[in-house]
């Protein structure tokens, strides 16, 4: 009778070890796969200007595993005035390793504002918008990160200076 108990206990241990190994293997495989992130930009509307044209050059993402990594953006100028989280403009698609990303730098090379029919170049207070907002990329997953500028705070119309103050929406 005692041999049956020992055999049963050994069988349970072997099955538990096998299941643990399977779960570990599947988790390792999932972590090795990539997910996709669509970076988008938007604005919290209103100001009294007819256009805010921003030129972007690259995106840098930070993870605790790999530090900062730069991703090129096809240099493009986007009129973000009036773009919201429901109609945000696609800046770039990035393929990332699955994991948690903690910070974003969105590099801006130029800001031009249409005021009373004139295009006025603004001085950049910083070369990038800095966003401290963690998000998780799942293997084989797709997600949107919308960087929402608040132009009411960002633009100093009198000084003609752009200071990026942003919020983030991850979905």
Residues of the chain with pLDDT under 50: none
What the block records as the tokens of 119 is 């295009």
Q: Quote the distance between the C-alpha of residue 171 and its chain's center.
A: 10
H or E segment to which residue 161 belongs: strand 161-162
| Per-residue confidence (pLDDT) for residue 111, from 0 to 100 | 94
| Per-residue confidence (pLDDT) for residue 171, from 0 to 100 | 67
Dihedral of the alpha carbons of 74, 79, 84, 88, in degrees to the nearest 10: -20
Strands of 13-149, DSSP E: 34-43, 51-63, 67-79, 89-97, 99-115, 118-124, 128-137, 142-149
| Per-residue confidence (pLDDT) for residue 39, from 0 to 100 | 78
| Per-residue confidence (pLDDT) for residue 23, from 0 to 100 | 62
pTM assigned to the model: 0.72
H or E segment to which residue 64 belongs: none
What the block records as the tokens of 147 is 């960087």
């Amino acid at each position: 009778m005692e041999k049956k108990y020992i055999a049963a206990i050994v069988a349970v241990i072997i099955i538990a070890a096998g299941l643990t190994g399977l779960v570990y293997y599947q988790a390792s495989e999932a972590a090795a796969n990539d997910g996709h992130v669509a970076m988008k930009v938007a604005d919290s509307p209103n100001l009294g200007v007819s256009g805010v044209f921003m030129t972007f050059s690259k995106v840098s993402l930070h993870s605790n595993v790999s530090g900062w990594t730069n991703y090129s953006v096809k240099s493009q100028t986007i009129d973000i005035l009036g773009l919201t989280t429901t109609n945000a403009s696609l800046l770039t698609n990035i393929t990332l390793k699955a994991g948690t990303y903690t910070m974003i730098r969105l590099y801006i090379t130029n800001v031009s504002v249409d005021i009373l029919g004139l295009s006025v170049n603004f001085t950049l207070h910083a070369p990038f918008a800095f966003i401290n907002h963690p998000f998780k990329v799942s293997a084989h997953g797709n997600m949107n990160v919308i960087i929402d500028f608040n132009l009411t705070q960002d633009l100093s119309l009198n000084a003609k200076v752009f200071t990026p103050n942003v919020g983030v929406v991850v979905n």
